Amino acid sequence: MIGLIPSENHASPAVRLAVASTLSSKYSEGYPHRRYYEGNQIIDEIELEAINRLKKLFKVPHVNVQPYSGSPANSAIYFALMEPGETLMGLKLASGGHLTHGHPKVTFSGRFYNSVQYGLNDKARIDFEQVEKLALKHRPKVIVAGNTAYPFELNFKKFSEIADKVGAYLVADISHVTGLVISGDHLSPFPYANVVMSTTHKTFRGPRGAMIIVTNRGVAKDKDLPGKIDKAVFPGLQGGPHNETIAGIAIAAQEASSEQFQEYGHQIRKNTNALVVILKERGLKLVGDGSETHLMLLDLTEIGFGLGTQLAFALDVAGIYANKNTIPDEPCSPFYPSGLRIGTPLVTTRGMKAVEMRKIGNWIADVVEIVAQEELPQDKKLRHQFIKNFKQRYASNKALLEIRVEVKKFAKDYKLFADEWQLA
């Protein structure tokens, strides 16, 4: 199989060894040298090592490595910075933001805070005029700059200028692009944001977890910020940290500090560009006409109505997995969206380069042609049954299964983790 989900990656053997270790058996509520349980001498060393490696890597004064994952980490940041009912501004989910950035009604971030959401301009880029207008009108306590399905660079400088105008905290959620920030292929948030959050399992290529970073700008704005963040994580929202994950983060931090990781980040960008080129050569349309990161969004609206679900399923049958996604101004529905999100971090970890991207791009385009006629019914009541029938028909589609055979043969040559990095 070939994985093209932009939020996924393969961690190194060393990271996986740590995650599978007996470190997971130990309880260690609290922070190094301030634990509620005995027997944490080694755990203290590991957590401090993870923190120190990250502080050195990002040149920042404070890091917390205990958040269980990205969503709890964002909750902790909001818990530290806002009272319930205060205003949070973030990028709309449909424009490529994350659920935890204030998505209304169904999420904690949209329900416990006064959520104001900004969107994109007609070039599919973040609409900074709108961000500024909304900020001046609503005076948010926190502005989040982060992306889950936004293929372009986040301009943290512009965000910070707006945040400064209204006295807001700027939180950069770089979960998706941390690896690119490290390799210098994406603008760094550290000179601009007050707090930075990153999951550790995406382009950072560590275990499933997260880190919260307080920058020099954060400390300058509020010298108590590091303590507030730590208290919000524990005891505010969590109990005992996942020590095996923290060990994995320490290892990933060391890997991310290497020359090879710089190359990895550069290669992600090269691969994304190569995939963009072939998809466009094959006549496919991309949201915003391209990518400046590790991901792109296929816009299928010119091919047919509501094709995202069908394409994602058909690709899976063909041995390639990516995810259906809404596109800006989604004409169909979030349940049956019109786009496909594609990313290159995982195939890059497997050692694939531009030549392989052309092969993959051609397969994607072939699959698009196979499902192009399978438009979603306009009548909402018919959609569920239509998709059910579609899946039954296409699970054994001959053309898709032929591609699957080719994909399987091709993928065999690429190990899940190409570089046999050893822990130094």
Ligand X SMILES: Cc1ncc(COP(=O)(O)O)c(C=O)c1O
Q: Which is nearer to ligand X, 62 or 98 (CB)?
A: 98
Sign of CA dihedral 368, 369, 372, 374: negative
The answer to whether 329 and 342 are in contact (CB under 8 A) is no
The catalytic residue among 100, 107, 148, 199 is 199
Query: Which of helix, strand or coil describes residue 334?
Result: coil
Q: How far is the CB of 220 from ligand X (least distance, A)?
A: 25
User: In sequence order, what are the beta bridge partners of 120?
Assistant: 126
Interface map 7-46 toward ligand X (x if CB under 6 A) = x---------------------------------------
Binding region for ligand X (CB under 6 A) out of 57-65, 173-181, 271-279, 324-332: 173-181
In the region spanning residues 114 to 153, those forming contacts with ligand X, defined by CB under 6 A, are 146-148
Whether 202 sits among the annotated catalytic residues: the reply is yes
Q: Does 100 bind ligand X (CB under 6 A)?
A: yes
Q: How far is the CB of 358 from ligand X (least distance, A)?
A: 27
Whether 27 sits among the annotated catalytic residues: the reply is yes
Q: Does 262 bind ligand X (CB under 6 A)?
A: no
3-state secondary structure 104-140: CCCCHHHHCCEEEEECECCCCCECHHHHHHHHHHHCC
Q: Which is nearer to ligand X, 148 or 293 (CB)?
A: 148
> How far apart are alpha carbons 142 and 145 in whole angstroms?
10
Whether 199 sits among the annotated catalytic residues: the reply is yes
Give the closest residue to 109 by CA, choosing from 138, 80, 71: 71
Q: Does 71 bind ligand X (CB under 6 A)?
A: yes
Query: Which of 53, 92, 98, 228 contacts ligand X by CB under 6 A?
Result: 98
The catalytic residue among 92, 202, 217, 383 is 202
Transcribe 13-60 into DSSP letters. Answer: HHHHHHHTSGGGG----EETTEESSS--HHHHHHHHHHHHHHHHHHT-
Q: How far is the CB of 367 from ligand X (least distance, A)?
A: 24
> How far apart are alpha carbons 103 and 220 in whole angstroms?
30
The answer to whether 135 and 89 are in contact (CB under 8 A) is yes
Give the closest residue to 412 by CA, choosing from 311, 274, 319, 294: 319
Q: Which two tokens stand for residue 77?
A: 């940041």
> How far apart are alpha carbons 327 and 299 in whole angstroms?
7
- Size of site (CB under 6 A) for ligand X: 14
The answer to whether 116 and 169 are in contact (CB under 8 A) is no
Q: Which is nearer to ligand X, 146 or 361 (CB)?
A: 146
Query: Which of 53, 141, 176, 242 contacts ligand X by CB under 6 A?
Result: 176
Q: Does 301 bind ligand X (CB under 6 A)?
A: no
Query: Which of 8, 16, 69, 130 contacts ligand X by CB under 6 A?
Result: 69
Whether 173 sits among the annotated catalytic residues: the reply is yes
Hey, which residues are catalytic here?
27, 29, 173, 199, 202, 208
Can you give the binding site for ligand X, defined by CB under 6 A? Answer: 7, 69-71, 74, 98, 100, 146-148, 173, 175-176, 199
